[in-house]
Amino acid sequence: MECDTALAAVGIVLYFLGFIYYGKCALAGKVNPSLASWEQWAVLGILLAVSSHVMNKGDVIKSLQAYGICIANVIMVVVVLIARKYDKPKLRDTALSLFGLLAIFLWWLKHDATYALLTLLFPVVISIIPTWINTWQEPSREDPKPWLVICFSYLLTGTATALRVQYWTMEWHQVALHVTGFATQFVVPLIAILKKNR
């Protein structure tokens, strides 16, 4: 097994382990996830997976994180619904849905999935802000452990993708999803740990 394949495989296993742990916490009532955010992330995840697959010309290793995001987020919507402990949708969530439509439109207009993927990163960042705020206001709302595991998975799959990028083509946009995912999600455990230790 080559290094990039091994990194991607370990990364995606960690990603799902992080989500399994988070799902167990949600079902046990230890965390209070936002249904609206998870619904948004599920739709964005599906669009990210499709656009990443097309942009990377079917390269499974480069697109593995996007596939994982798609599957995990859809499953988390079901878990949150089963847990029946969630916030109601807000106007912001509806507005963010428009970015999904914008991404599809840009993809169609430019005939390039890269535009869709990069456009989708903006609502991904915006949609996690309520989680940051909720964690800041109530640190016990989020458990840092699954978030840290998920962040580490982004590092591994991002490294695997970077190893497959042809350096002379400067296709560094292919790691944009990994960098964005790590940076935005690392804020959650950082806030939770800092606030709990005060």
| 21-56 pLDDT per residue, tens | 988 888 888 887 777 677 777 888 888 888 888 877
CA 80 to CA 164: how far, in whole Å? 36
Which pLDDT band holds residue 100 (cuts at 50, 70, 90)? low
pLDDT, residue 147, reads 92
Residue 90 CA from chain centroid, whole number: 20
Mean pLDDT of all residues in 1-28: 87
CA 63 to CA 73: how far, in whole Å? 16
pLDDT tens across 118-165, in order? 777 887 788 788 788 888 988 888 889 999 999 999 999 888 888 877
Residue 109 CA from chain centroid, whole number: 25
* Better-scored residue on pLDDT, 51 or 92: 51
Residue 171 contacts residue 114 (beta carbons within 8 Å):
no
pLDDT above 70 for 85? no
SS3 assignment, position 67:
helix
Please name the residue ranges forming H helices in 28-175: 35-55, 60-83, 91-110, 113-137, 144-164
pLDDT, residue 166, reads 66
CA 18 to CA 13: how far, in whole Å? 9
**Average pLDDT, whole number, for the chain?**
81
Which pLDDT band holds residue 102 (cuts at 50, 70, 90)? confident
Residue 189 contacts residue 147 (beta carbons within 8 Å):
yes
Residue 121 has which token pair? Answer: 């990163």
